[in-house]
Amino acid sequence: MNMNIIAITTGDPAGIGPEITTKMIRFLPLNDENIYVVYGKLFPFADGNNVIEILKISEAISPHNIYWIKIDEDIEIGKPTKKSGKISHKILQKCSEDLMAKKIDAVVTCPISKEAIQETYPDFVGHTEFFAQISKSEKVIMSFWGPHFNLALLTTHLPISQISANMQNIEAKLRLIYVESHKILSNPKIAILGINPHAGENGKFGKDDVQMEQVLAKLKKENIAIDGPFPADTFFATKQYDVVISAYHDQGLIPFKMISHESGVNVTLGLPFVRTSVDHGTAFDIAGKGVASEKSLVKAIKFAQFLLSSKKQIGAENYSFLAEYYDEYMSEVPYDEWAEFVVQKYIELRGQNPQNVLELACGTAEISTRLVRKGLAVDAVDSSREMLNIAAQKTDCPKLYNHKITEKFTKKGYDLALLIFDSFNYLTQKTEVQKMLENVHEMLHPNGLFIFDISTVQNCRENIDGFINIFDKKDVYFVHESDFLEDEKIQETHFTFFRKKGYQFTKKVELHRQKIYDVSEILEMTQKFKIKGIYSVGKPENLIEKSSQYLDENFGRLFFVLEK
């Protein structure tokens, strides 16, 4: 199987690049399609993805690890210096050698200080120009891709006084933007902004826009449709296009960064490899304080994956938006009672506390943190990096790992495994349930226990079907709608988010689907285990002797205690 090699350069070691890279790779979902290699400085965590330090890229062979080519020296964090600039350039140089040797398919860059690099390399202009030079690419375009609109720049880092003089190759640049945009989007509508106020008003404010009109007319005859030039001062308030072409850096980037902050990705068009980047700077003022957000870097990684993939899809995962508000929204869930229940059931059967616990689909680790407070050693896994990031900020958090419950987990020998709060129901196919059960059986110590809960048909009929709720805060508003599809035994939940960003609201939608299994189906699928009990929390009775139909019809939530 051919795998893509994606490099990540950590940028200026005195800036936030090393911090956001470390945060990003901690819970980065790994798959068989991509291998990740970090060039530069890191502060690896004790949990999360396994980070292996290597000397050369040929040692990066497994997609199940993060590889690190360490390029670092002692510097003062938060202060750009000639030394930090030298290290930044050294990182880029090492990565570029592997790029030119065709050992890398994509590079994702963290921010640098151009000024710091220029103290040693005065001709250095920026990432875009650097990669264009090393790859001998004559025409490259800075572009920015976000949730509201996408942006391409006709010029890169130039003084305003030089913009007009750099318009000679406008036709070739427009061709490049048109071709590359169609590789990324399906039939995009493309517009270009005028260079001068009011798009020149037919030559009253300069001839640049008249010349641009002539070029656009020529391209139109070749079926290269680019509308404009439009006056920039009113464009973003009145027009809607998929790709906007800006004459110069700040003309388009001011509105782009205002409404797409932390959601935008910088992409260099025209290179022989994929290059994406964060859409922010080094932020020396907050470097080393642990508060820098890795969100833009996550977007840049996902976009690089998207550009390398033949499927050309970027899917929003469950809990990618809900995660930030999940704990507040679920504040009435009886986590204390559930945590006490699972520990007591283990003690009743084993006479002591479990020595090590694994929680599957841990979410924000509300159960696991309570078990840690009880003095238990806990590992917790979830497939949502957003939920894991919330969990990682909590006191008494367990060791956290990004992992799907249907995939094998390398660690074994657990005394107790947990799958709590409807997580079982997210496995909508019996084949998925069987994979999960096989994994749990393999990870448990002999005679280890597995405790999970399910939402029942009775719960869906009485509490879920037709449910509507509204969550309203200062900068976010979302609607929670749930229905029970009786024929399919599927619970569907829609979360529609309206989140304020700058002067606009961003709309996002999450769809959650859960399979509601009958108790008889659960008993059939768990035959590899010995069933020690079926319980409704808060009631001491072991319901194991009750009929499946009775359990389905009289309880909203059931807990199963299984033994390996």
Q: Map out the domains of the chain as residue ranges.
A: 1-137+271-315, 139-263, 323-458+516-563
Greater pLDDT, 374 or 321: 374
Domain 139-263, what architecture? Answer: 3-Layer(aba) Sandwich (3.40)
N residues, the chain: 564
CATH number of the structural domain 323-458+516-563: 3.40.50.150
Residue 506 pLDDT: 78
Residue 523 pLDDT: 97
Residue 508 pLDDT: 85
Query: Hey, what are 139's tokens?
Result: 């025409």
Q: pLDDT for 176-191, tens place per residue?
A: 999 999 989 989 999 9
pTM: 0.87
Q: Which residues pair with 497 in a beta bridge?
A: 478, 508
Query: Between the ranges 73-77, 124-128, 229-233, 415-419, where is the mean pLDDT highest?
Result: 415-419
- The pLDDT of 324-336, averaged and rounded, is 95
Is residue 206 pLDDT above 90, yes or no? no
Question: For the ranges 45-49, 192-196, 285-289, 411-415, which has the lowest average pLDDT?
Answer: 192-196
Greater pLDDT, 262 or 35: 35
Q: What is the dihedral of CA 63, 321, 20, 4, to 10 degrees?
A: 30
Domain 1-137+271-315, what architecture? Answer: 3-Layer(aba) Sandwich (3.40)
Closest CA to 211 of 252, 151, 171: 171
Question: Which string of b and e fits 275-290 if b means at least 16 CB within 10 Å?
Answer: bbbbbbebbbeebbee
Q: pLDDT for 65-112, tens place per residue?
A: 999 999 999 999 999 999 999 999 999 999 999 999 999 999 999 999
Q: Which residues pair with 402 in a beta bridge?
A: 382
pLDDT, the chain, mean: 92
Greater pLDDT, 508 or 132: 132
Name, in order, each residue with C-beta under 8 angstroms of 441's C-beta and a sequence gap of 6 or more: 450, 528, 529, 564
Residue 310 pLDDT: 64
Name, in order, each residue with C-beta under 8 angstroms of 337's C-beta and a sequence gap of 6 or more: 537, 538
Q: pLDDT for 342-387, tens place per residue?
A: 999 999 999 999 999 999 999 999 999 999 999 999 999 999 999 9
Q: Which residues pair with 495 in a beta bridge?
A: 480, 510
Question: For the ranges 120-124, 260-264, 468-472, which has the lowest average pLDDT?
Answer: 260-264
- CA separation for the pair 381, 408 (Å, rounded): 12
Q: Please determine whether the domains at 139-263 and 323-458+516-563 fall in the same fold group of CATH.
A: no
Is residue 318 pLDDT above 80, yes or no? no
Q: pLDDT for 151-183, tens place per residue?
A: 999 887 777 777 776 666 788 899 999 999 998
Is residue 538 pLDDT above 90, yes or no? no
Closest CA to 243 of 152, 140, 174: 152
Confidence of residue 317 (pLDDT cuts 50, 70, 90): low
